[in-house]
Chain A
Amino acid sequence: MLRQAHRGETAALEELIGRHGTYLYGIARSLCGNEHDAEDLVQEVFVATLSAKFRGESSVRTWLVAILVRRAAMLRRSMSRQPLRMDSTGDVAKAPEPLASDAKVDLAVMLEALSPEHREIIVLRELQQMSYEEIALVLSIPRGTVESRLHRAREQLRLRFKNYFDV
């Protein structure tokens, strides 16, 4: 179906968008924190498939999410002159406030308190079930950095959602 889309068959492209577009948008929205950037990002992901090579080593969805995460990182670097919510190491400036257990929680809300680097790690590990090696390849970081970032991201989430846990 990817090949059909690249050959210009609109129906195949629409089918791909139908299968993966909503999921990709949800991920993009969680990574970007706003609708406008998320929409641009999703468009860029499908356009990027024209140049990127799908080797069939993962599912199409995982491949698309990997492209999306990379694009989000590029977008973030290009906007690096804007004031950042978090410092450059990805650590939060202060501990996130715990949410009340009856607060409405969607993925974007869950990840909004995290730094962009931590959101990427959580998306790739928890939602895409990628291994540490795969995450290291996608993000172009050492495996050790994957482990330490994941550890810190989860600690931030644990503090924020501790009221949701069964004791």
Chain B
Amino acid sequence: MCEHSDQIHAYHDGELSAPLRAKLEAHLAGCAECGRELNELRQMARLLVAAPMAQMPADLPARIVSSFENARRAKDSGIRKLAGWLNAAAAVILLAATVRMSGMMTRGTEKPAAEASTGLRDWELTAVMPPDRQVDDAGSADLIQVAQWMARDLSSNGDERR
């Protein structure tokens, strides 16, 4: 096998740099083996391009349209559902952060103030609020009010009543 034969494919595919291409072309002028291989590559390419292809079944276009429309409707529906879930998740995160902040600013050793006002169950509040924090802050009342509203809104599945 000629030492240049490994370059024949790249040459045929136009993948050789200009200097290598020039060098190989000079070699091809005098190498029958490489010339034959290149000739077969070209004939093979022509056979492949000219080969007839299988015909599409007559009903396939209609099935493609149907699949496409179904997928498009599913995609639109999925986007709306995802937006709904993201909104709910954002509200829960905001509630947890707000309740935690109001708990951190509330004096008390017994029931946290937020729990007494919102009616939230003990385990829900203690899950987000550290115990026994003390603070004197005029803004804490507003935060507690916001937390109460959000807690009522999110838990309005029959357990809570507005």
Contact with A along B39-52 (1 / 0, CB 8 A): 11101110111011
In the complex, whether A69 has a CB less than 8 A from a CB of chain B is no
| Distance in angstroms between the alpha carbons of A130 and B50 in the assembled complex | 17
Chain B count of residues within 8 A CB distance of the other chain: 33
B64–A108 contact, CB under 8 A?
no
B65 within 8 A of A: yes
Chain A 14-25 against B: per-residue CB contact (8 Å), 1 yes, 0 no? 100110011101
CB distance from A3 to the nearest CB of B (A): 13
* Nearest CB of B to A82, in Å: 22
Restricting to A10-36, which residues have a CB under 8 Å from any CB of B?
10, 13-14, 17-18, 21-23, 25-27, 29-30, 35
Residue among A6, A10, A27 making CB contact with B65, cutoff 8 Å: A10
Q: Are A18 and B61 in contact (CB under 8 A)?
A: yes
Given contacts A29-B54, A147-B9, A158-B44, contact A50 B63 (CB under 8 A): no
The complex places the Cα of A150 from the Cα of B10 at a distance, in Å, of: 10
Closest CB in chain A relative to B6 CB, distance in Å: 8
Q: Which size class do A's interface residues fall under? A: 35 or more
**Are A122 and B53 in contact (CB-based, < 8 A)?**
no
Is A151 interfacial (CB-CB < 8 Å)? yes
| Docked-complex contact B48 and A126, CB < 8 angstroms | yes
A166 touches B43 (CB 8 A): yes
A14 touches B54 (CB 8 A): no
Q: Decide: B13 and A132 in contact? CB cutoff 8 A.
A: yes
Q: Contact between A164 and B43 (Cβ–Cβ < 8 Å)? A: yes
Q: Residue A42 contacts which of B40, B43, B47, B64 (CB distance < 8 angstroms)? A: B64
CA distance A51 to B71 in the complex (A): 10
Q: Is B47's CB under 8 angstroms from A161's CB?
A: yes
**Residue of B at shortest CB range from A125?**
B13
The answer, yes or no, to whether B68 is at the interface (CB within 8 Å) is yes
Cβ A17 vs Cβ B65 within 8 A? yes
User: Which residues of chain A have C-beta atoms less than 8 A from B65's C-beta?
Assistant: 10, 13-14, 17
Q: Does the CB pair A22–B53 fall under 8 Å?
A: yes
* A89-116 CB contacts (< 8 Å) to partner B: 105-110
Q: Give the 5 A-B CB pairs with smallest separation, nearest first.
A: A26-B53, A29-B54, A25-B56, A107-B51, A47-B71
Knowing that A22-B56, A46-B64, A125-B13 touch, tell me 10 more A-B residue pairs with CB under 8 angstroms. A8-B69, A13-B68, A21-B56, A21-B61, A43-B68, A50-B68, A106-B53, A107-B53, A126-B48, A131-B13
